[in-house]
Structure 1
Amino acid sequence: MTVDDNLIAKLSKLSSLEIDEAKKENLKSELADIINFVENLNEIDVSSIEATFNTVEGGTPLREDVAKQDLELSSHIMSNAPKSEDGYFVVPKIIE
């Protein structure tokens, strides 16, 4: 994957970040380095290596999934939202 001005413009639009013209060349270089590093990792053959550890001994602990409604908490959360309507968050449209 090549990092060019088109990719930087697309990333800028998707992230809603304004990228300074003076920093674009440095950003392209850093992104290219990151992509090359990840591509190098993809070339390593680990098919013969067995997993040596697990973060949770005995597997993933499960809990009962119980739905509950707390109207006071919901209204508190909605009061902090920049925009809400009928108990839902209102966000800008991002897909054209």
Structure 2
Amino acid sequence: MNKEQVKKEFAQVIRNAKIAAAIFFILLTPSIVMIIKGVDQVFGQGQDFWFRAGIAGFVIYMGFTIFLWKCPKCKKFPGRGWFRKECQSCGTELS
């Protein structure tokens, strides 16, 4: 696998991580709004529903991180952060 392929694949991994994070925050936001504003329902759903939705979003994001956040070359955890320049496991340039 050449450098450009690695960078392209890692860019897709980052894009997918951002999508997973967005899902988490979208599902978590109504619960936070309900707590801060003291609202009983958001979109016709109560706080219990949105709390569980936030947990589901967290599970989705953590599942992505555990199973799919990998270096395209060595298939190991590349390190934390979306702005990684190189894999901490194999040293491959990622972006």
Q: TM-score w.r.t. structure 1 length? A: 0.29
Task: Point out which structure has higher relative CO (alpha carbons under 8 A, 6+ apart).
Answer: 2
Q: What's the TM-score once normalised by structure 2's chain length?
A: 0.29
**More helix as a share of residues:** 2
Query: Which of these two proteins has the greater Rg computed from alpha carbons?
Result: 1
